[in-house]
Amino acid sequence: MEQVITNSFDETKKLGQEFVKKILHAHDANSALVIALYGDLGAGKTTFVQGVAQGLDIQQRIISPTFIIVRKYDVSIKYQVSGIKYFYHIDLYRTESEKDLEGVGIKEILSDSEAVVFIEWAEKLGSLLPQKRWEVRLEHLEGDRRKISLKNK
């Protein structure tokens, strides 16, 4: 496990950028590469994912998908290593039931071996959360400081 303290919005974005480049290569092609994000509102989950999108050279602006639960982006050709073509940003904050999850096609997304999937409020997935995953935990320290731990499960 790696633990990092960031001191600004930009540092958290940078961390996301570097993180995704490291993990893309370790992808085995049987299912999606899943990254579960945990942390309170304002901890910096979306910020981290914005950095990831930059790292993958995604040109569209990453807006928080809080109202639209799932957003899908194409990964630029340059980063389509280990067969990953799609980048999903999922925010489950507003989901209330297993039915909501089915509604967004979560099972199909998680089994898509061409996808890298970042999930905010991943605890809401319950038993649907794949065993094999990365966990990124963000904690609000004082002011602009955040403690971020990155773990491969």
Q: Which residues bind ligand ADP (CB under 6 A)?
A: 6-9, 11-12, 39, 41-47, 64, 120, 144, 146
- We find the least distance from the C-beta atom of residue 3 to ligand ADP, in angstroms, to be 14
Return the residue of 13, 27, 45, 89 that touches Mg ion, per CB under 5 A.
45
| Sign of the four-CA dihedral 57, 143, 66, 120 | positive
Angle at 54 between CA 122 and CA 34, to 5 degrees: 25
- We find the least distance from the C-beta atom of residue 144 to ligand ADP, in angstroms, to be 3
Q: Is 90:124 a contact under the CB 8 Å cutoff?
A: no
What secondary structure does DSSP assign to 112-129, as a single string?
-TTEEEEEETGGGGGGGS
Q: Is 24:81 a contact under the CB 8 Å cutoff?
A: yes
> Beta strand 33-38 with 70-74: parallel, antiparallel or unpaired?
unpaired
- We find the least distance from the C-beta atom of residue 145 to ligand ADP, in angstroms, to be 6
- We find the least distance from the C-beta atom of residue 111 to ligand ADP, in angstroms, to be 25
Which residue's beta carbon is nearest to the bound ligand ADP?
44
Binder of residue 27, out of ligand ADP, Mg ion, none (CB less than 5 to 8 A by kind): none
| For Mg ion, the closer CB: 27 or 45 | 45
User: Looking up tokens 């602006």, which residue turns up?
Assistant: 61
Binder of residue 8, out of Mg ion, ligand ADP, none (CB less than 5 to 8 A by kind): ligand ADP
